[in-house]
Amino acid sequence: MERSKMIGLIHAKAQNIYRCRICGRFHAGPICLECGSSAIQDSLAGIVYENFLFSLTGKTSCRALSDQELEKVLESLSLICLEMEKQKRREAWMARRKLMGIIRSQATRMFEANAQIRVDGFCEKCIGKALERCNEKELRKVIGWLRRLEKRGKSEGYTGGSNEKGDVPDNDR
């Protein structure tokens, strides 16, 4: 890779990197992955940037770095960004897992033995894929559908389970 392009990439990646004021770790994003601090983070600019370069190469400017040192800095920044991507994927997986649990419990409460068939039918018809393949936004659509059905069913006397007292509410109110 051309030297000027490597320097440009380093500067572009450095704009998304921060140093935690609590533990001193470099990370990408508003929350430190090491200590979990969401306190004000120092952006990788100015003296912090120079200290970062110095800790990796012993030099404080990209201009003074050799091609191998530029590659080392670029690789280090890429690893920091990759770590943040892994964290985002893990958080998305956890959120998706939580939504799947909500769907399963609400559908089972509403449809009992036919829950899986009804939810799969909705997903195939309205979303165009199986429930297991849905992303977070699509899972929220399924939850919305279940809640609308439950609300509509309550107005017709269907409670989708029992209320606090365990009895069916009056429709005459």
> What is the distance of C-alpha 54 from the center of its chain?
33
pLDDT digits (tens, 9 = 90+) for 55-79: 888 888 888 888 888 888 888 888 8
pLDDT digits (tens, 9 = 90+) for 12-57: 888 778 877 777 777 777 677 777 777 667 777 778 788 888 888 8
Which has more pLDDT, 169 or 15?
15
pLDDT of residue 156: 57
pLDDT of residue 63: 83
Report phi then psi at 166, rounded to 5.
Answer: 90, 5
pLDDT digits (tens, 9 = 90+) for 94-117: 889 999 999 999 999 988 888 889
Which has more pLDDT, 147 or 2?
147
pLDDT of residue 39: 65
pLDDT digits (tens, 9 = 90+) for 118-167: 998 999 998 898 888 888 899 999 999 999 988 887 655 444 444 444 44
8: confidence class by pLDDT, cuts 50, 70, 90 = confident
Terminal Cα distance for the chain, rounded: 75
pLDDT at 5 over 60: yes
pLDDT of residue 166: 45
Consecutive H or E run containing 9: helix 3-14
Q: Is the dihedral of CA 34, 39, 45, 49 positive or negative?
A: negative
pLDDT of residue 140: 93
pLDDT of residue 83: 79
**DSSP H stretches of helix in 20-168:** 47-57, 67-111, 115-122, 136-155
Which has more pLDDT, 51 or 170?
51
